[in-house]
Amino acid sequence: MSRIGNNPITIPEGVTIDLQPTQITVKGKLGELTQEYNEVEIKIEDNIITVLRLSEKKSVKSKHGLYRSLIANMIEGVSVGFTKELELVGVGYRASNQGQKLDLALGFSHNILLDIAPEIKIETVSDKGKNPIIKLSSHDKQLVGFVAAKIRSFRKPEPYKGKGIKFVGEQIRRKAGKSA
C-alpha cells in the first residue's frame, strides 16, 4: 500500500492542469511543466487530484507514489517555485555571475565557468566578512537540484577543515586530525 500515492493533491488558485491519456501539463504564474506517466490513472475532481493504480504489481505500486510526488512538485513549482542556496567555505573562494554564466574561483589554477540553464534564475551574494552564497531558483525542482549538485561536485566539503561548497544549513561531519 502506497501511503504517499494515496494522498490527494489540492490544486491552488491560478494553476491550470491539462490532462491527456499519457501526459499531464501544469501551468502557473512561474511557468509550465509537463510529465508523461503510465501504469497509473489520474483523476481531477473539485480541484483535487488523485492518482490510482491500474494493477497490484510491484512496479505499478512503486510508480504510484512516484507520479503523485512528481505531480505535487510540479504544482508547487509553478505556483511557489523552488530555491537552493549554496555556500562557498574557504579562503579565496569566490563566485560571480554575468547573466546565466557562473564564474567560480575555488583554488584551482583557473576559474570554473559554468553555463546555467535559462529556466534557472541565478544570484550571487558576496558580503564582506561572510562566505559567498549562490542562490538558484526555478519552477523545476529536478533541474534546480541537478544544477546545485553539479556546482557542489566541483569542491565537495571535506571533513577536516570544512572547506568546500555546501548547502546553506547543511551540517558537515567533522573528523579529528592526527593525534600526536
Distance CA 74, CA 28 (A): 10
Q: Is the dihedral of CA 112, 87, 172, 160 positive or negative?
A: positive
Distance CA 73, CA 64 (A): 15
* Domains of the chain, start order: 3-79 (3.90.930.12), 82-167 (3.90.930.12)
pLDDT at residue number 125: 95
pLDDT in tens, the chain (180 residues): 568 889 999 999 999 999 999 999 999 999 999 999 999 999 999 999 999 999 999 989 889 999 999 999 999 999 999 999 999 999 999 999 999 999 999 999 999 999 999 999 999 999 999 999 999 999 999 999 999 999 999 999 999 998 999 999 999 999 998 886
- Of 10, 53, 6, 15, whose CA–CA distance to 33 is shortest? 15
Angle between helices 141-153 and 58-79 (to 10 degrees): 90
Distance CA 61, CA 1 (A): 7
Question: In a 3-state reduction of DSSP, which class is residue 84?
Answer: strand
